[in-house]
């Protein structure tokens, strides 16, 4: 089981020693044009979670490729590029320009942009024709039938799934106004974990695709639970903010959690939730 960062939750150029704890670094989502992002306040703590409305702030595709990618390569960490856009052609063109990286994650589910994207399957299909690099589709658990979306992107050529993105949410301040300037944002942190475990279970059962599981992982025990539900790899997001040593800590805790559970590796734990020995299964 590899430990990655959730896209947008780490700047490897600002904190390379945090990125070096990871098996792969996932970039912040890159869009065709530069985006300044949302006005502040952009973040707020909530009960067992936090909201963010960063608004896909990024330097844009041209500067990302010319300036950021070469410097990221120098870090010597396997690189995943998170790709965003507002139509299938946006995504596909960025994919066609990427090479010599480990994988592409298609951000099909950012809750902080207003523009409606084409359907997930349409985007994956366009990107599949544009690149031979591994394509991971990052899906939202806010969809009423995330397993159906997973099947559709699998049929369109996705090599894997990233589950889950933040959920759109709102918090109010003491004066009963939205805390975030944008009014709403994406909810992350431990509050999301049960939602993520369910989405991963049903998408794993629906597709069997490799899954990068994320959503509220704070400990090695959390990571093991993600493996049991079907995740091959995990990503840390909010946990990195409080503890930049989280990847190393979670990896050590995961080994202990596996030993406690009587499994040799997290891979052996996968499907424990639906093995014949256990009576309870996660319904689709």
Partner 1 sequence: MPSSVSRSRHRVTASELVGPYTLLRLERGDLEPGAPGQFFMLEAPGRLLPRPFSLCLAPPGELAFLVDPIGPGTEALCRLRAGDEIGVLGPLGHGYRLDVERPLLVGGGIGIAPLPYLAEQLGGSPPAVLGFRNADYAEAAALLPSAEVVIDPVLVTELIEPRFDVMACGPEPMLQAVAALYPTAQLGWEAPMACGYGACYGCVVEIDGALERLCLEGPVLDAARVRARVEAVA
Instruction: Note whether 186 binds partner 1 by CB under 8 A.
Output: no
- Supply φ then ψ for residue 89, to 5 degrees: -65, -35
Q: Please name every residue paired with 135 in a beta bridge, in sequence order, or none if there are none.
A: 104
Instruction: Note whether 36 binds partner 1 by CB under 8 A.
Output: yes
Instruction: Note whether 75 binds partner 1 by CB under 8 A.
Output: no
CB nearer to partner 1: pick between 42 and 204: 42
DSSP string covering 132-157, please? -S-EEEEE-TTSTTHHHHHHHHHHTT
CB nearer to partner 1: pick between 28 and 204: 28
Give, as one character, the DSSP assignment of residue 57. -
Identify the residue among 33, 45, 60, 66 touching partner 1 (CB under 8 A). 45
Identify the residue among 48, 63, 71, 73 touching partner 1 (CB under 8 A). 48
Site pattern 209..248 for partner 1 (x: CB under 8 A) = -----------------------------x-xxxxxx---
Instruction: Note whether 32 binds partner 1 by CB under 8 A.
Output: no
CB nearer to partner 1: pick between 40 and 194: 40
- Supply φ then ψ for residue 216, to 5 degrees: 85, 15
Q: Which residues, other chains included, contact 105 with Cβ-Cβ below 8 Å and sequence gap of 6+?
A: 7, 26, 80, 81, 82, 83, 136, 137, 138, 162, 212
Identify the residue among 44, 92, 95, 152 touching partner 1 (CB under 8 A). 44
Identify the residue among 32, 111, 190, 247 touching partner 1 (CB under 8 A). 190
Smallest distance from partner 1 to CB 240, Å: 6
Decide: 95 and 127 in contact? Cβ < 8 Å. yes
Q: Of the ranges 15-23, 93-101, 124-132, 137-145, which one interacts with partner 1 (CB under 8 A)?
A: 15-23
Instruction: Note whether 68 binds partner 1 by CB under 8 A.
Output: no
Q: Please name every residue paired with 58 in a beta bridge, in sequence order, or none if there are none.
A: 35
Decide: 190 and 114 in contact? Cβ < 8 Å. no
DSSP string covering 195-254, please? HHHHHHHHHHHHH---EEE-SS--SHHHHHHHHHTT-SEEEESHHHHH-TTHHHHHHHHH
CB nearer to partner 1: pick between 135 and 246: 246
Instruction: Note whether 42 binds partner 1 by CB under 8 A.
Output: yes
Instruction: Note whether 178 binds partner 1 by CB under 8 A.
Output: no
Instruction: Note whether 9 binds partner 1 by CB under 8 A.
Output: yes
Give, as one character, the DSSP assignment of residue 59. -
168 membership: H or E segment, kind and range: strand 167-169
**Which residues make up the interface to partner 1 (CB under 8 A)?**
8-11, 14-15, 17-18, 28, 36-37, 39-45, 48-50, 52, 54, 57, 189-190, 238, 240-245
């Amino acid at each position: 089981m590899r430990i990655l960062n959730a896209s947008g939750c780490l700047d490897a150029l600002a904190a390379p020693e945090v990125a070096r704890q990871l098996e792969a670094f996932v970039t912040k989502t890159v869009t065709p044009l530069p985006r300044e992002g949302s006005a502040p306040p952009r973040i707020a703590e909530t009960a067992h979670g936090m909201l963010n409305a960063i608004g896909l702030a990024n330097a844009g595709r041209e500067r990302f490729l010319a300036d950021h990618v070469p410097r990221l390569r120098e870090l010597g960490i396997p690189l995943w590029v998170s790709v965003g856009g507002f139509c299938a052609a946006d995504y596909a063109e960025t994919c066609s320009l990427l090479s010599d990286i480990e994988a592409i994650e298609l951000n099909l589910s950012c809750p902080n942009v207003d523009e409606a994207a084409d359907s997930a399957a349409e985007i994956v299909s366009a990107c599949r024709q544009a690149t031979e690099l591994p394509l991971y589709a990052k899906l939202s658990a806010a969809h009423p039938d995330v397993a159906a979306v997973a099947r559709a992107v699998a049929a369109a050529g996705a090599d894997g799934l990233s589950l889950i993105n933040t959920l759109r949410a709102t918090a109010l301040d003491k004066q009963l106004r939205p805390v975030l300037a944008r009014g709403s944002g994406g909810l992350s942190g431990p509050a999301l974990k049960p939602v993520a475990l369910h989405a991963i279970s049903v998408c794993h059962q629906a597709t069997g695709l490799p899954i990068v599981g994320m959503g509220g992982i704070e400990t090695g025990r959390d990571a093991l639970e993600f493996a049991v539900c079907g995740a091959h790899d995990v990503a840390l997001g909010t946990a990195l903010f409080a503890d930049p040593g989280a990847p190393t800590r979670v990896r050590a805790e995961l080994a202990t959690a596996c030993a406690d559970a009587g499994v040799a590796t997290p891979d052996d734990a996968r499907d424990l939730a639906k093995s014949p020995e256990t009576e309870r299964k996660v319904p689709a």
